């Protein structure tokens, strides 16, 4: 797997994997909640969709936007750059450039709106992390 320039063994993404995992989980939960047919909820009260509906205020798009916008500028830029890497706009070897452009893109804020405007942003972020040979699966939540 390709590594970012000036790298020893660890990649400094500028954001913790725990924070990325939180955003990924929340984004996926919001997507599932938005796509859930109300009829499915009554079919199986233990389904993922039904369980997510139990606390809908905890997993809303607005709460995710607020969480992202509450991160510092470097973390916001890192999330945007990871989404771009996950989408294939940049490779992991172009990380510094992606991060620089993400910071420029985010100079006026709005990272939450921008990221939530991307289809499947949770998957893009997960793929972005995977491009560096890292996994969110083992991150404790």
| Residues 54 and 47 sit within 8 Å (Cβ to Cβ) | no
**Is 123 part of any domain?**
yes
Residue where the block lists tokens 């999330």: 79
Number of domains in the chain: 1
Burial of residue 39, with CB atoms counted within 10 A of its CB: 0-12 exposed, 13-18 middle, 19 or more buried: exposed
88 belongs to a structural domain: yes
Contact by Cβ (8 Å): 128, 82: yes
Does 11 fall in a domain? no
Residue 42 lies in a domain: yes
Specify if 8 maps to a domain: no
As a whole-number percent, the residues of the chain with pLDDT over 70 amount to 74
The confidence score (pLDDT) of residue 1 equals 39
Interval 25-57: pLDDT, tens: 999 999 886 655 555 545 555 544 444 444 555
Q: What is the pTM of this model?
A: 0.78
Where the chain has pLDDT below 50, the residues are 1-8, 41, 47-54
The verdict on residue 6 lying in a domain is no
Range of the domain at 82: 17-130
């Amino acid at each position: 797997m390709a590594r970012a320039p000036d790298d020893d063994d660890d990649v400094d993404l500028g954001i913790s994997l725990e924070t990325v995992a939180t955003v990924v989980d929340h984004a996926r939960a919001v997507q599932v909640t938005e796509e859930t047919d109300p009829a499915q909820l009554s079919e199986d009260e233990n389904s993922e969709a039904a369980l997510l509906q139990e606390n809908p205020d905890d997993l809303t798009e607005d709460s995710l936007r607020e969480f992202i916008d509450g991160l510092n500028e470097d973390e916001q830029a890192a999330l945007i750059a990871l989404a771009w890497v996950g989408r294939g706009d940049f490779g992991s070897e172009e990380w510094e450039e992606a991060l620089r452009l993400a910071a420029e893109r985010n100079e006026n804020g709005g990272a939450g709106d921008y990221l939530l405007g991307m289809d499947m942003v949770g998957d893009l972020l997960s793929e972005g992390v995977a491009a560096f040979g890292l996994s969110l699966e083992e991150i404790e939540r």
